[in-house]
Amino acid sequence: MTILITGASTGIGVSFAEEYAKRKHNLVLVARSEDKLQALAKRLSDAHGIVAQVFAQDLSKPNGAEKVVRFCDEKNLEIDLLVNNAGFGMLGEFLSHDVARLEEMVTLNALTLMKLSRLFATKFAERKSGGIINVASTAAFQPVPNMAVYAATKAFVLSFSEAIAFELKDKGIRVMALCPGGTDTPFFDNAQYERSKLMIPLEKPEDVVKTCIEGYERGETVVVSGAMNKLMVNSSRFVPRSLVTAIAGSIFKK
């Protein structure tokens, strides 16, 4: 079994690579940083005797998805599971952000994820076998002022994943959306957010990944990691949406 992981150089992406390598699956690791990918590939190959290939690509740029597929085709790599993990967020009011940077976020978090899903699902359908794990977020369940575009992209990922999971199940393709809450990764540092403002403790990325894989193997379509995150997501359904938005905005106020 060969698994392709985007955003594989840090955080949850590294934990996906480590966990699947332990399970003796071959890997295709995709991210911007070739040095980090090469170091990770060597470490996992040496430790677990698997084949880990590397493709350095900035997926926030146009045609990144097509380049990933072309790499796999040129290497004659048959992907069995696609893990769309790459993404980033920015903290601050909508009008404070550079439009070009917002476009890169939408491209990476939503457009490239959709295109990779489409391109690999075509191959999976031909074989009547394959799977897709799309990393969304608990931010997908409500608007988040001060992270408006990020949360909107994750809402897209959640809705998109649920819809195509229904469409593709009869073609032998499993699709799942993973919705982590706050996780101990470089995400918050990159977004310039003080972790102490979060209402619940950060999860470990390896725990998020284990929860994800268990849910995927059970055939679940949406997995929210962490008991507190599940409680918050479910309780928000019984609270006025305006109040949920106000609370989220206060938590993520810069």
Given the residues 20, 150, 193, 216, select the one marked as catalytic: 150
Mind listing the domains of the chain with CATH numbers?
A: 2-251 (3.40.50.720)
Catalytic-residue membership of 150: yes
In this prediction, residue 189 carries a pLDDT of: 61
In this prediction, residue 192 carries a pLDDT of: 58
Q: Give mean pLDDT in consecutive 10-residue pieces for the chain, a chain of 254 residues.
A: 97 97 98 97 98 98 96 97 96 96 98 98 98 97 95 98 98 97 74 56 92 97 90 80 80 74
In this prediction, residue 183 carries a pLDDT of: 85
Q: 186: which residues sit within 8 A by CB, 6+ positions away?
A: 10, 11
First-to-last CA distance in the chain?
44
In this prediction, residue 170 carries a pLDDT of: 96
Which pTM value belongs to this model?
0.91
For the chain, helix, strand, coil in percent to 5 are 55, 15, 30
Element (H, E) at 84: strand 81-84
C-alpha 217/C-alpha 129 separation (Å) is: 14
